[in-house]
Amino acid sequence: LLLPLLYLTPTVEQPFRAITHIAMEVSICWIAWRIADVLTTRARLLEWLEARPGLRGILPLIRQLIGIGLTAIAAAIALSELGLSLTSVMASLGLGGLAVALAAKNTLEHLLGGMTLSLDQPMRVGDLVKIGDVQGTVEQIGLRSTRIRTQDRSLVTIPNGKLSDMQIETLAARDRIRMNLSLNVQYTLKAQGLRELRDALLACIGKNSQV
């Protein structure tokens, strides 16, 4: 609005106007990034995310991706204002993004798997689970992998990309536990002894109110 009052020559006015547009567009992108920063920071306090630690841990990554995207948009617009072809710039960014995506294919697969686990929630931290041949307690659901502490106290790390395709048996969600015991008795034990053993076992089980 103030450009007419400056009485600039056309040679000077054009680059000055371009610089002004670039400053405005960069400011808008910066404001948008600050809004996203505040929203992602406050979102960590939501109860819905408190129950989903894996998804809560993705918020910093989402904030960084938003910042990178806004920076790329501001850079593309600035190059366009300087006279470069926006189409060629976007094509270059697209090829670069494709190359990065192909190079980080496994990482993206595990990241999306972690997001799926956080949204679907087949298990939570502290749950006793059985996944394939691994049985133990979930210690951490991270961005790339999930860590399970087995009954032998060893730590098993499973990539989220593979975990999202595996059968997850959550033992902690059982309302009852079936106890299947094998009792060894001597072959010389008579029928009366078997009846007494059975009665003694039933009496022992009956003392427990949870059975």
Which residues 6+ apart lie within 8 Å of 167 measured at CB?
A: 131, 132
Name the stretches of the chain with pLDDT < 50.
none
CA-based angle 87:96:84, to the nearest 5? Answer: 30
User: Phi then psi for 93, rounded to 5 degrees?
Assistant: -65, -35
pTM confidence score: 0.48
Residue reference for tokens 């949204």 = 119
Which residues 6+ apart lie within 8 Å of 147 measured at CB?
A: 138, 139, 140, 155, 156, 157, 158
